[in-house]
Amino acid sequence: MKISTYVKSGILHIVLDGEMDEYSASSARRETDRLIDLSPPLEKAYIDLEKVTFMDSTGIGFLIGRYKKLQRLGMEVYLKNPNPTADKVLSLGGIYTLIPKV
Amino acid sequence: MKNYMNLELLAISENESFARSAVAAFALTLNPSLSELSDIKTAVSEAVTNCIVHAYKSNKNPENKILLSCQTHEVDGVGELHIQVSDYGCGIENVSEAMQPFFTTLSPSERAGMGFTIMQAFSSEFLVESEKGKGTTVKMIKRISEGGKSEENA
Ligand SMILES: Nc1ncnc2c1ncn2[C@@H]1O[C@H](COP(=O)(O)OP(=O)(O)OP(=O)(O)O)[C@@H](O)[C@H]1O
Ligand SMILES: [Mg+2]
């Protein structure tokens, strides 16, 4: 899984690209947290899921972990563009009550 | 039974992608829709991941194996994929508690406790058999609707 970030209109965009499972999660956690720490202080973050081709419950755990970190840094967090596969897992996990979709 | 496949693999996370892709490829003869195929992949991934992260305490022991066995059936004209995922690890003391949504014995800050809930929701029939110290078997049946042949009816 590839992780990248960019800032647009004052919003931190975190882009996930690839398959999110237990195998990819540990390095994805490390890399995402590193990029979040490098980010300038902002009020909002979007986690862009458009390029996530597979996600299981490990992905729910991953998103909850990143949400908590971003919240501690004072950021509002939103999920962007989940494909139908990820959307089904995320809806079932009740994640959108915690991290709304934009 | 129309067809079967048995796969024995080492319980390491490198094998997760292979395991779910192998089952999905095996299921193709049933003409599943894209969404049925994606349900199958996700459910298998949950079961296999649980064997890797929960069943075996010491990593990389070559004895830590997962047995994945699949069959296709046709029942009253409806195609069925039968999936069985077994490990010989620590087992689950209280299965009904483990199956509750959000229940996890690992750190809840990085784990949702949603694996069993997802397996149940993404399959047509679902059963867990476990014995403490002996291991765990998850059995799932996925019925493939006729609509699978014309894409995205699900
Ligand atoms: N194969 C197994 N061997 C031993 N214990 C298991 C096994 N599968 C599940 N469990 C137990 O059942 C609990 C619930 O499993 P479930 O998959 O629902 O959640 P999780 O794996 O903890 O979290 P998530 O799947 O959301 O990452 C686990 O925390 C673990 O204690
Ligand atoms: Mg699990």
**Model pLDDT for residues A50-100, shown as the tens digit of each residue:** 999 999 999 999 999 999 999 999 999 999 999 999 999 999 999 999 999
Domain ranges of chain B: 3-153
CA-closest candidate to residue B39, choices A20, A54, A62: A54
For residue B152, the model assigns a pLDDT of 47
CATH number, span A2-97: 3.30.750.24
ipTM field = 0.94
3-state helix, strand, coil in chain A (%, to 5): 45, 35, 20
Q: Is B50 a catalytic residue?
A: yes
B92, B101 contact by CB (below 8 A): no
Given the residues B6, B111, B125, B131, the one annotated as active site: B111
Q: Is the pLDDT of residue B148 over 80?
A: no
| Residues B98/B120, Cβ–Cβ less than 8 Å | no
> Which fold does the domain B3-153 belong to in CATH?
Heat Shock Protein 90 (3.30.565)
pLDDT of residue B147: 52
The domain locations on chain A are 2-97
Evaluate if residue B109 carries a pLDDT over 90.
no
pLDDT tens for each residue of A8-18: 999 999 999 99
Closest C-alpha to ligand 1, atom 11: B98
pLDDT more than 70, % of chain A: 100
Q: Which of A22, A33, A66, A68 to mutate to test the interface with B (most CBs of B within 10 A)?
A: A22
Instruction: Give the pair of three-digit tokens for residue B99.
Output: 């199956």
The answer to whether B90 and B133 have CB atoms below 8 angstroms apart is: yes
* Closest residue in A to B152 (Cα–Cα): A84
Three-class SS state of A8: strand
